[in-house]
Structure 1
Amino acid sequence: MKIAIIAHLKFPIAQPYPGGLEMHTHLLAGALKRRGHDVTLFASEGSDPALAPVYVCQPTGDGLGDPLRHASIDRAENAAYARIMDAVRNGDFDILHNNSLHDLPLRRSQDLAIPMVTALHTPPFESLEAGVRAAPVTMPFAAVSNHTADAWREIVAEPVVIGNGVELSVFVYRPVPDPVPYVFWSGRIVPEKGLHLAIDAARAAGLPLHFAGPRPNPAYWADWIAPRLGDDLTDLGHLGHADLARHLGGARAALVTPRWEEPFGLVVAEALACGTPVAGFRRGALPDILDASCGALAEPDDVASLSDAIVRAVALDRRACRQRAEDLFDADAMTAGYEALYEAALAAHDLSRLPPPRLRRVAGAQA
């Protein structure tokens, strides 16, 4: 298949990943290429040249913290997505995969002569919901978790659930953690990810915390993280996947502390693939993707409850964690799921283009 993929334009599709959506887009584009498909990725400058992307604009995410720049960011993104949709319409593609979280590709999808598949990576928000409502009712949608599918159910009747995957060959199984115990946290260091709660809970559990991730919110770091820094914390910076896997695999547990309804949580899949159990808040998709064999859930935003979950998690069997990842989070299975969705969309699109059946006059019937 000749597949066009529209990326989120706020950050480059490259390591070290700013977030899970960039990682997912990179993984899917590369996996589809390796499976023999002709893939064109439309993405922002700085995206991985190994994917041979079509660069459409500078990354737009740098100004998100400045309200004075929001209008100019909106204009830049609208112009970039309009150029992408023009290129797809005039190109020789079989199908379009929309990973953008932007309303314009959805609104413009009716201009295309090919089917478009949209992946829902977040709960509904105003502009994306408006775009989904403007899209053709026949558009196929994928949701990254049962939780996300349920959140969209009133708008999208039957989203296909295709869970995110990770490369099991990168996040290798570690049957034994590092000899010096620690717990691990990774993600964007922003309020909604709750690193400050992970720090407090790890201290209450008596375990050092190693953490990693980009710092797009200087005010959160200054007000909530810097005052908590101490000898029991190790700031590893923003890690690529090889280093991330090494530190995850050495940990006694991974802490996942969303302060919002997290639609998936790729760090859960990455940790389990390494054999590292998870302690996290009972929120968003976590109750769907963890079970008692591989994780311990805590009450949301409750440090004491999370501290107790850490103690329970470190006692779990690491082989069971890896098995959960192999069963649910294999990148090859995820890619096959999208291939099946593309094939179904193409088949439905071909049927929709057939002429209506000609009615044969039955003898004796009235005209």
Structure 2
Amino acid sequence: MKIAVLAHLKYPIGQPYAGGLEMHTHLLTVALKRLGHDVTLFASRGSDPALDPVMLCDPTGDALLDPEREAAIDRAEHDAYRRMMDMVAAGGFDLVHNNALHALPLQESARLGLPWVTVLHTPPFEALVRGIVQADPDMAFLAVSPSLAQEWATLVPDAQVVDNGVDLSNFAFNAAADASPYAFWSGRIVPEKGLHLAIDAARAAGLPLVFAGPKLNPAYWDAQIAPRLGPDLTHLGHLAHRDLAHHLGRARVAIVSPRWEEPFGLVVAEALACGTPVAAFRRGAMPDILDAQCGRLADPDDAQALSVAIREAACLSRRACRDRAEALYDASAMTARYLDAYEAVMARCAERAQPALRVAGGRG
């Protein structure tokens, strides 16, 4: 197939990844290419050149940190999506896979007349809802977790669930944690990821905390993280996947501390693949991913409860964690399910086109 993959334009699609969506888009693009499909990735500048992406604009995530330039960046982003849609319309594609978080591709989908798959990666927010309401009625919607599908159920009642996957060879199994025990946290260092609560919980549990991720919100860092820094904390910076997997796989326990309804949480699947048990807040998809053999859940925003979950999770079977990752979160299986969804939407579109062709032939 000739497939257009639409990325969001906030951050580049390349390592070190800004977050899970960037990693997922990169992983899927690579997997589809390896299977022989002709894939064009539309993304922002700075994306991995090995993917041969069409790069439309500078990353627009800076708008979140620069209110004075927000309007200009928003206009540039809108113009970039407009160019993206014009290129897709002229590109001779068989199918569009939409990972963007912008309304315009959805609003343009009916005009293009192509089979579309849109993957829901976030809870409903106003701009995305506006786009979905105006989308091609034949569009197929997929959600990355059962909990996220439920959040969208009123607007998209038939979203198919395709869990995110990880490259199990990159996140290799580590049968034993490091002899010097520590907890590990990774993600974007922003308020909704709750690193400050993970720090408090790790301290209460008596474990040093090693953490990694980009400092995307300086005000949050200055107000909540910097005052908590001490000898029991180690910030590794923004890591590529090889280094991330190395530190994650040696940890006694991984901490996941979302302060919003986490749509999936790839760091959880990555930890399980490494054999590292997880302690997390019970929010969003955390109960979907973790079971009692490989993780413990705590009441949201309760650092003391999370510290109890850390101590309990640290004693769980590392082999059980890896087994769950292999059974449920293998990227190869995820890609196969996407291909099934592609074939279904293409068949449905072809079937619906037949009556129109017969009518046209009869008129002739």
The residue that corresponds to 1:141 in the other structure is 141
Aligned to 1:93: 93
Q: Distance in 2 between matches of 1:202 and 1:103?
A: 40
Distance 1:130 1:357 in 2: 32
The alpha carbon displacement at 1:358 in A equals 7.7
Counterpart residue number, 1:316: 316
Name the counterpart of 1:249: 249
Could you say which residue in structure 1 is the equivalent of 2:80? 80
1:335-354 pair list within 5 angstroms: 335-354=335-354
Partner Cα distance (1:163, 1:87) in 2: 30
Q: How does 1:46-195 map to 2 (within 5 A)?
A: 46-195=46-195
Residue 25 of structure 2 corresponds to 25
Displacement of 1:279 = 0.1
Kindly provide the CA deviation profile for residues 39-83 of structure 1, in whole angstroms up to 9, marking residues without a partner as x: 000011110001000111111112312222221122111111111
On the 8 A contact 2:143/2:149 being kept in 1, the answer is yes
Deviation at 1:213?
0.1
Aligned partner of 1:122: which letter? T
Matched residue pairs, number?
Answer: 359
Aligned residue identity for 2:340 = A
Aligned to 2:231: 231
Separation in structure 2 between the aligned mates of residue 271 and residue 290 of structure 1, nearest angstrom: 11
Q: Which amino acid aligns with 1:240?
A: A
Shift of 1:114: 1.5
3-state SS of 1:104 partner:
helix
Using structure 2 for the length normalisation, give the TM-score: 0.97
Query: Given that residues 166 and 330 in structure 2 are in contact (C-alpha distance below 8 angstroms), is that contact kept between their aligned partners in structure 1?
Result: yes
Task: After the TM superposition, list the runs of 4 or more consecutive aligned residues in structure 1 that deviate by more than 3 angstroms.
Answer: 356-359
Which stretch of the first structure deviates more once superposed, 167-176 or 107-116? Answer: 107-116
Q: Distance in 2 between matches of 1:321 and 1:82?
A: 44
For residue 279 of structure 2, give the secondary structure of its aligned residue in structure 1. strand
1:362 corresponds in structure 2 to: none
- The amino acid across from 1:120 in the alignment is L
8 Å contact kept, 2:262–2:283: yes
| Aligned-pair CA distance for 1:357 | 9.7
Root mean square deviation of aligned Cα: 1.1
Q: Mean Cα displacement is larger for which, 157-166 or 56-65?
A: 56-65
Instruction: Indicate the percent of aligned positions where both proteins have the same amino acid.
Output: 66
Provide the rounded CA distance (Å) in 2 between the counterparts of 1:355 and 1:281. 51
Distance, in Å, in 2 between the alignment partners of 1:240 and 1:188 is 13
Instruction: Name the SS for the 1:353 alignment partner.
Output: helix
Aligned residues of 2:63 and 2:74 also touching (Cα < 8 A): no
Distance 1:73 1:277 in 2: 41
C-alpha distance after superposition, 1:8-59 (max 9, x if no partner): 1011000000011100000000000001100000011110001000111111
Q: What code does the residue aligned with 1:26 have?
A: H
Q: 1:9, 1:357 → 2: CA distance?
A: 38
Q: Distance in 2 between matches of 1:358 and 1:218?
A: 61
Match for residue 281 of structure 1? Answer: 281
Aligned amino acid, residue 322 of structure 1: R
Task: Quote the offset at 1:141 in angstroms.
Answer: 0.4
Aligned mates of 1:357, 1:87 — CA distance in 2: 26
Deviation at 1:136?
2.2
Once the 2 structures are TM-superposed, how far is the Cα of residue 306 of structure 1 from its aligned partner?
0.3
Q: Which residue of 2 aligns with 1:306?
A: 306
Does the CA contact (< 8 Å) of 2:298 and 2:309 recur in 1?
Answer: yes
Secondary structure of the equivalent of 1:355? Answer: helix
Partner of 1:258: 258
- Which protein has the larger Cα radius of gyration, Structure 1 or Structure 2? 1
Residue type of the alignment partner of 2:95: I
Measured in 1, the distance between the counterparts of 2:59 and 2:215 equals 16
Which amino acid counterpart does residue 270 of structure 1 have in structure 2?
E
- Is 2:238 aligned against 1:220? no
